[in-house]
Amino acid sequence: MACRWAAAIGACLVLSGCQAPPGARTADRQTASNQRHLDLFGNFDLPRKIGTVENVRLQVPVFSPDGSQLMYLRTDQDELSPMTLLGSAAHTPDEGTLSVWVRPAEGNGAGRRLSSGRWAHSAVWSNSGRSALYVVNAPPGSTIVHLDLASGQERRLGVAGAINCLPRFSARADETVLFCTGKDPNGPFRVARQSLRESEPTLLTPEGTDCVLPIQPDRAGKLLCARSAGERLNWALCGPEGVADVAAECGSSRRPEMLAAWAGIAEPLAPDGRSLVFYDPLQDRICIYHASDRRVVRHRSGSIAACWLSEDAVALATDRGVFAVNTVTGLSPALFDGTWIPARYVPATRRLLLLGRDSAVRFSIVEVVFKTAAPARQG
């Protein structure tokens, strides 16, 4: 399989006796990057089914950083609205339950209920795997819950009496949280930051500006997030004093369509924190924003889900197959056919976890293990 992919690199430029011109050096760097990409992701074991998990068709399960556990949703309701994820009171019924559960990644069992609220969703792992976040809808508002997984200790965060939703851990720290807050699920939202040591959150975006999908502050303290610009989403660097767009028309700002940006992406931020992967429904493809030069690269048409393999590679899925994409050069060899959601890559074990359709109400869980490329044959 690695040999088949190697053909995609093309012939190497051979120069001797002189210094390569800049264009040739660029080509050499791209060739080296492509070869490294194939060495890392061009040789793997056949996909192996390791279990199944419920699918309530609101959010996909999320795997722990080490790939050993997953959090997923269970409900006794026949239908769930995506507006649930935005804290909508109109879509939080008076009766019934929506809860976050945790269980081993392998197997078919239910595991144990993790959330304490009646109507809970939006589970997120911390980078260490020792903490989790989820949201509890309690009309007229909603609350962010920080959970220490070892002790079971919970801390409720957010603006009192408001909608608090779309949480993420900030700067890969277990104790600091970013989230959106506002009075109405249709916006406008402001992004807030709160640590476990703070009784009140700090608002990071201007009043009246509808900011969603927070990532993390950059080195200058500006927050990268999406903001509504008419019916479009722009990625922007934001602070309390104002916003500066860095990438325009990268999605729909309409509720709940804006949630599509991360519907098939559990961790949007690259391992080195320098790139952001998202789905653009306007282009119907996975895109990557590179903060180093404020550039958006749009990848395969029809791609719907992705997860990071390294700081410069993603596993990308269309409805026909999964591809290993070099985000620097664009090399995009196929892994295997079928409809899958790449959900988590574990570098320590070189294990890629994917979700596929097992039935109308269950995902299959599949793993792919990448192997070290065999050394080149001599002669």
CA within 13 Å, CB half, 188: 16
The answer for residues whose C-beta is within 8 angstroms of residue 142's C-beta and 6 or more apart is 87, 135, 136, 158, 163, 164, 165
The answer for residues whose C-beta is within 8 angstroms of residue 152's C-beta and 6 or more apart is none
Q: What angle do CA 254, 243, 296 make, to 5 degrees?
A: 70
Output the pLDDT for position 19: 39
> What's the token pair of residue 73?
């949703």
H-state helical runs in 19-95? 22-41
Map residue 55 onto helix, strand or coil: coil
At residue 197, what is the residue type? R
Structure confidence by residue, pLDDT tens digits, 297-351: 999 999 999 999 999 999 999 999 999 999 999 999 999 999 999 999 999 999 9
**CATH architecture, domain defined by 38-369:** 6 Propeller (2.120)
Structure confidence by residue, pLDDT tens digits, 31-49: 888 899 999 999 999 999 9
pLDDT at residue 27 tops 80: no
Size of the chain in residues: 379
| pTM, two decimal places | 0.89
Map residue 258 onto helix, strand or coil: helix
Range with the poorest average pLDDT among 8-17, 98-107, 240-249, 360-369: 8-17
For the chain, the domains span 38-369
